[in-house]
Amino acid sequence: MISGKLNELPAREAAVKLARREIGCEALARACLERIAAREPGVKAWTHIDPDQVIAQAKALDAGPVRGILHGLPAGVKDVIDTCDMPTAYGSPIYEGHRPAADAACVGMARAAGALIMGKTVSTEFATSHPGKTANPHNPRHTPGGSSSGSAAAVADRMLPLALGTQTGGSTIRPASFCGVVGFKPSFGLVNRAGVKPVAESLDTIGLFARSVADVALLFAGVTGCPEVAEIAEVPAPRVGIWRGAKWPEALPETVSAVEDAAARVARAGARVSEVEVPGEFAELAKAHHEIEYFEMARGFAYEFEHHREKLSEKFRSRIEHGRHCTLATYCESLALADQCRKRLAALFSDYDVLLTASAPGEAPEGLANTGNSVFNRNWTLLQVPCINLPGFAGPRGLPVGVQLVGRFREDPRLLACAEWAFRKLP
């Protein structure tokens, strides 16, 4: 394989070749850098990348022993996640040139497992809604989604095999759907968030991007320090519940078709598929998510709001103001509703192994002024359960459309196993 194609290797295959010294870390890094140099002017996925620093890391990895399951694998890091040797600006001009003293925990774990940190990928402003510069690699006139814009786009464009992001609303699953990659939001708290700029502490979750379920499981194993979860179990055809819910009318025809096609494909492969009767109180979760997010944002960004208000986007300022007007009673009521629905959802999982639902309303909208709607993501983030986007479908303009599988809280390996089973059945 010529060096210029090494960047297209699946992460798991590359990991085996790197561990056996069949390919070098430097050769793989150079292939990724070549791809970035060719494509970055149009995609704009990066806020920081230093080729000399990348090659120095790669040479050090080649010169030493195999460090772990991510040895030599290039990975991107969203620009709200601290890195000790690269700037982290949190998607805001307030922090331009900021140099953290230490790596975030997830970056530290990735490095300990041997990952080669390529650089920092574009985030929206503080991982919220105000967009960055990144374009969809399938069509630069369309959004890549957000807030993990650069991570999803870089993986989709084969600039590198793995990337870290975050999700507070839909910031991993939605851009994964828009860009046509696998995006995994683990159960809340399973990946340590130390060193990640908080948006809303009850919601923030580290997100992972790759081009296959097997590859995202490998990255999950690396950042959790649990190598056993890299080995995806073989499972029988799962019990699949189709989840529509109160927001289903917002699904565009391409998303409706994708979910129904996915349901039909897994049913033909032996899955037991049925419609879920969604409890009525789940219709209030979207509002509860907003109240919790804005309440926590208003307090977490007190410094930025008081001292750098002019450098915040209008949308960000309005959310802070909304949060400051939210009462403690409303906040606590929203938290209580989330607790109630988590219990109801756990009971529902006695009948299902996974839930099948939409990842996004449709294909990526045209324009870069907004990153799309997280209507099909917020509830799952609030409910703290693991979710994964599976690509394989397309919208009317030929842009990717994914479907989302949702698993039981803290049963992430089982979700990954069911997702791998389903991934093989999709287009």
C-beta of residue 293 within 8 angstroms of C-beta of residue 169: yes
Query: Which one from 78, 120, 185, 197 is the annotated catalytic residue?
Result: 78
* String of DSSP letters for 23-75: S-HHHHHHHHHHHHHHHHHHH--EEEE-HHHHHHHHHHHHHS---STTTT-EE
- CB count within 10 Å of CB 28 equals 26
Residue among 92, 123, 147, 187 flagged as catalytic: 147
Mention every residue, 6+ apart, whose C-beta is less than 8 A from residue 301.
Answer: 126, 320
Q: What are phi and psi of 139, to 5 degrees?
A: -165, 110
Is residue 427 packed enough to be buried (19+ CB in 10 Å), middle (13-18) or exposed (0-12)? exposed
Examine the residue annotation and report whether 147 is marked as an active-site residue of this protein: yes
Q: Are strands 74-78 and 116-121 parallel, antiparallel or unpaired?
A: parallel
d(CA 102, CA 196): 11
Count of other CB atoms within 10 angstroms of residue 328: 8
CA atoms within 13 A of residue 281's CA, in its CB half-sphere: 13
At residue 404, φ and ψ (nearest 5 deg) are -115, 135
Strands (E), 96-170: 116-121, 162-167
Residue 262 and residue 195: Cα distance in Å, rounded? Answer: 38
Query: Catalytic residue among 92, 123, 148, 171, which?
Result: 171
Q: Which residues pair with 401 in a beta bridge?
A: 393
In terms of Cα–Cα distance, which of 364, 367, 371, 363 is closest to 141? 367
DSSP 270-316: T-EEEE----GGGGGHHHHHHHHHHHHHHHHTHHHHHH-GGGS-HHH
Residues 6+ apart with CB under 8 A from 269: 237, 425
State how far the Cα of 46 lies from the Cα of 69, in Å rounded to an integer.
25
DSSP state at residue 362:
S
Closest CA to 146 of 300, 358, 374, 367: 374
Instruction: Determine whether 78 is an active site residue.
Output: yes
Which amino acid belongs to residue 101? A
Amino acid at 31: A
**Which are the catalytic amino acids?**
78, 147, 171
